[in-house]
Structure 1
């Protein structure tokens, strides 16, 4: 079955971020968390430190709509991560109540750019940058 996924890279806090997303969405990981130390070394790859071996190589979390959220910790040798404003993760929920619940959960420690609210046509919408730097658009269709 084909599906779309979003891949998020972190600077050492992927496990904390995905524990947060797991609680926010009320979902379970799709398989175990893979660690950098579990992967075979690639030709020319520097030897990983003990801390790097424990970093997340891959974690997968199904979220509503059949979407898969995937993440990892990017080791220093992969380069510097830069958070930008060129992409958002958009999620449309079936009900206002579910959308409000998820928005509120993601808003913990976040920068809420546009509060989740009714848009005048029965649709609800809100945007935020969560405490891990991921940008979210949360919506639900009207009428309630």
Structure 2
């Protein structure tokens, strides 16, 4: 299991991560834009500007830590009924591999007790079990159990 910080930005993730890359060095491990997301039936189309925003980016800081982030759109805020607020725009991300699916489910269920589930732990288009929640103390968590290579 690996714990990492996951940051949310309001449209400037790419600029922020180019800055962090200049500070910490290294190369981006992964960059996905919203234009890479498969469109679901009944889903409102994103504007071209939103399609170019970052859905996920990761920058290894050292052998144990990866800084990750995404842009949060107004559409996401409306869907989750959650406003973007600078200062609380981060999650603790727990990353597990395919052999740890039971542990991913256990951790998600345990952290969700008396909390609020933002997205239930379920399979995703990027080949993982993923879920997000806010625990009973107001801490935001993401669980990502990679089942296959993205």
Return the TM-score normalized by structure 1.
0.53
Residue number in structure 1 paired with 2:19? 20
RMSD: 2.4
User: Is the Cα contact below 8 Å between 2:6 and 2:91 reproduced in 1?
Assistant: no
Shift of 1:42: 3.5
| Distance across 2 between alignment mates of 1:76 and 1:87 | 17
Structure 1, residues 43-83: CA drift from partner, whole Å, max 9, x if none? 54311001011111111011135111111111111113112
Gaps (5+ residues) in structure 1?
A: 90-144
Gaps (5+ residues) in structure 2?
A: 78-82, 93-150
Q: Which has the larger radius of gyration?
A: 1
Shift of 1:87: 7.3
Distance verdict in 2 for CA 1:64–1:82, change over 3 Å: same
1:71 and 2:62 aligned: no
Structure 1, residues 66-115: CA drift from partner, whole Å, max 9, x if none? 111111111111113112369799xxxxxxxxxxxxxxxxxxxxxxxxxx
1:82 and 2:81 aligned: no
1:11 and 2:10 aligned: yes
2:57 corresponds to which of 45, 56, 59: 59
Residue number in structure 2 paired with 1:48? 46
Residue 6 of structure 2 aligns to a residue whose secondary structure is strand
| Distance across 2 between alignment mates of 1:14 and 1:40 | 21
Residue 4 of structure 1 aligns to a residue whose secondary structure is strand
- Of Structure 1 and Structure 2, the greater strand share is in 2
1:38 corresponds to which of 36, 39, 43: 36
